[in-house]
Structure 1
Amino acid sequence: MTTLHELHKLGQSAWLDYIRSDLFTTGEMSALLERGVRGMTSNPTIFEQAIGHSDLYRAKISALASRGKSAQEIYDALVFADIKAAAQSLLPLYEATDGEDGYVSLEVPPAFCDNHNQTEAEAHRLVQLLNLPNLMIKVPATPEGLVAFENLTADGVSVNVTLMFTLSDYEDVANAYLCGLSRRLKNGQALRTVSSVASVFVSRIDAAVESLKGDALPDLLKGSVAIANAQRIYQSFQEIFEGDAFAELRANSARPQRPLFASTGTKNAAYRDVLYVETLIGPHTVNTMPPATLRAFLDHGVVKRTLDENPAHTKEILDACASASIDLDAIGRDLKKKGLDAFTKSFDSLMETIETARTSSLS
């Protein structure tokens, strides 16, 4: 039994925040599944690194270009192939857990983040073309993204809501999920077929706080603000999904929307490399880890329930933030904008790389 299996015994699923074609051709993904990985997430930056910074996809790009495919068609072919391979490898787990785990996430283009109609249309296009029961569409938690999320939930699409940083982010997303499910219930549609996770980005909060305060940051808040923020969000999850707000939906077989902890790689070398895994362990949650963090946790992670073990300490940290004039809502808004900008840059860079490779193969 690995630490990931121990993690799951406490109710948390470990997902891999990474995708590349050789995971599926070398047997690496099969080995990760045996060691306890239960899902996979992707984003534009991950695909940009995989396709734009390796030679694994060059031959496919040339072959598709020779058949007259556009850059967008080549992008779809490459990304869809990886997503399908991931979904196929995860399908037995999806079926064995009745749709609890075994998902792979694919993000809509970040340029659509401020247009819910475009987001919804692209989500439905991806769902229709891929036709995978264990696909989650990733939608950012922007105001328009929340509209799209509610509508997609009402339509029966499973969604990973991403780029969440604050408690207010989380509560807006949870409310949109409840509204979408309530619309399905009113229309007499099945609720059990819909799944969702709420992706809370963790380590970037600490990095932003440290950058903002520098040497003036109190010792109590070093490496602890992001954890307390995530723990407070988990308290809200418990209040919403274990309380009256979800009661009718629960009685009609709806699934709770699990908090998913993302950006869990440690950015400050002074902190333990598995800090944002060990301190956020609790039932009905997911932690999606980049490869280095996953390897570290398999090697020396300590597994015990920590997410809600000391709510008084969580409150102490958040109160100390307020006393130190650390505005987590403002930090969250800034980080969301930077995240969207980074994903847009990665997506645009990837499309440029594909177009350059496409045209050069034809010359």
Structure 2
Amino acid sequence: MATNNVKQIHDFGQSIWLDFIDRAIMASGKLKQLIDEDGVRGVTSNPAIFEKAITSSADYDNDIVELSKNTDDNEQLFFGLAIKDIQQAADLFKGVYDESKGVDGYVSLEVSPFLALDTDGTAKQAAELWQKVDRKNVMIKIPGTKPGLAAIRQSIAKGININVTLLFGLERYEEVTEAYIAGLEDHLAAGHSIGHISSVASFFLSRIDVIVDPLLEEKGHKELVGEVAIASAKKAYEIYKRVFSGERWEKLAAKGAQPQRLLWASTGSKNPAFKDTKYVEALIGPDTVDTVPLETIDAFRDHGIAANTLEGGLEQATQTLAKLKELGIDLDAITQQLEDEGIEKFNKPFEKLLNAIEDQKSKVS
């Protein structure tokens, strides 16, 4: 029997996580099948994914009725629904978590997108969600905004696993690694062990090209279309290798610390002219994670090519980013724009979700 293409990615040291969750995928056995047959090793969720799951299915209606007996707060009610899903998924991935000794097997739940620019609110809710989910193999997602940095450090310092989301720029990514390392140092200084703490830094890809590519075409540089996000990711991996080595890191590693792996997000191709597995194929390499939508997993299983690509073409990646500067394209400004838009892209479905919960409550009251 031919080797599964998705499973082959693991041969190169990269873990594939599924960027999707709903009750149907768990109840039908499909998620278990993805674990067993494709070697999927984790799940990520976000407000948009939950909005789709809850508003497009009747699977949540009974729980909405029950939870609404105890709270009028629709956000609280949503987290009640989400936590149940996250716990069920975490239990499904417990075997992967145990077998990998805490490297994989994680399920991610995001704090309210309304808190993206609120340090204290984020840190408080991260601790509450961590306690309520009550699973070692959960990660709480915190946006890597400026105000999010302190919340990330505080959460790591409490021993909470954190998935840092919404990263687009290299400078911010390096600040996130600092927040992680400082959080580990804080936890250690408080007299705790640190070997159980796990974190990923989620670097978003295709959205960068969606904005940059039309600018490149305008300037007559079609050869760089579809290359900037991949170049940025390769440079991020260069930062990762530098930060998670050297004396400061080695002291923590000696105490059992795990490096904060880079996670490639937004890896579905948004441009129909690109191969649908483009972003997955370009960034396969050791000690990384790729969180992939279901349709991209299906596509990769069918015709994806697994090879060690992440560390190739570094010089070309450097030249690509240098060329942007020459052309007067300000990547820092673009990545800040994407962060701002990203917050809005999660706020809108979250508002829609809370409204849908309110509608559902009114139907059954």
The TM-score normalised by the length of structure 2 is 0.96
For 2:191 and 2:346, the matched residues in 1 are separated by 37
- 1:187 Cα offset (Å): 2.4
Summarize the alignment of residues 68-147 of structure 1 with structure 2, pairs less than 5 Å apart: 69-70=71-72, 71-147=74-150
Unmatched segments (≥5 aa) in structure 2? none
Unmatched segments (≥5 aa) in structure 1? none
Deviations 1:101-154 (A, max 9, x none): 000000000111222111111111111111111010000011111000001111
CA contact (8 A) 1:221 1:321 kept: no
Show the counterpart of 1:208: 211
Summarize the alignment of residues 128-207 of structure 1 with structure 2, pairs less than 5 Å apart: 128-207=131-210
CA contact (8 A) 1:220 1:317 kept: no
For 2:273 and 2:242, the matched residues in 1 are separated by 34
Q: Specify the code of the residue in structure 2 equivalent to 1:7.
A: I
What SS does the aligned partner of 1:264 have?
Answer: coil
Summarize the alignment of residues 1-363 of structure 1 with structure 2, pairs less than 5 Å apart: 1-34=3-36, 35-65=38-68, 67=69, 69-70=71-72, 71-362=74-365
For 2:79 and 2:158, the matched residues in 1 are separated by 23
For 2:263 and 2:285, the matched residues in 1 are separated by 11
CA contact (8 A) 2:217 2:225 kept: no
CA contact (8 A) 1:221 1:320 kept: no
- 1:63 Cα offset (Å): 4.4
For 1:166 and 1:143, the matched residues in 2 are separated by 12
For 1:115 and 1:356, the matched residues in 2 are separated by 28
What SS does the aligned partner of 1:237 have?
Answer: helix
Closer, same or farther in 2 for the Cα pair 1:217/1:146, shift >3 Å? Answer: farther
Q: Specify the code of the residue in structure 1 equivalent to 2:257.
A: A
- 1:302 Cα offset (Å): 0.5
For 1:257 and 1:217, the matched residues in 2 are separated by 38
Q: Percent of pairs identical after alignment?
A: 40
- 1:73 Cα offset (Å): 4.2
| RMSD of Structure 2 on Structure 1 (CA) | 1.3
Q: Specify the code of the residue in structure 2 equivalent to 1:273.
A: D
Q: Deviation above 3 Å: which 4+ runs of structure 1?
A: 62-65, 211-215
> How many residue pairs are counted as aligned between the two chains?
361
Deviations 1:236-293 (A, max 9, x none): 1011113334111111110000000000000000001001100001101000001111
For 1:217 and 1:161, the matched residues in 2 are separated by 36
Deviations 1:178-230 (A, max 9, x none): 11111122223111011000000000000010244444351221110100000
For 2:256 and 2:116, the matched residues in 1 are separated by 31
For 1:348 and 1:217, the matched residues in 2 are separated by 40
- 1:347 Cα offset (Å): 1.0
The TM-score normalised by the length of structure 1 is 0.96
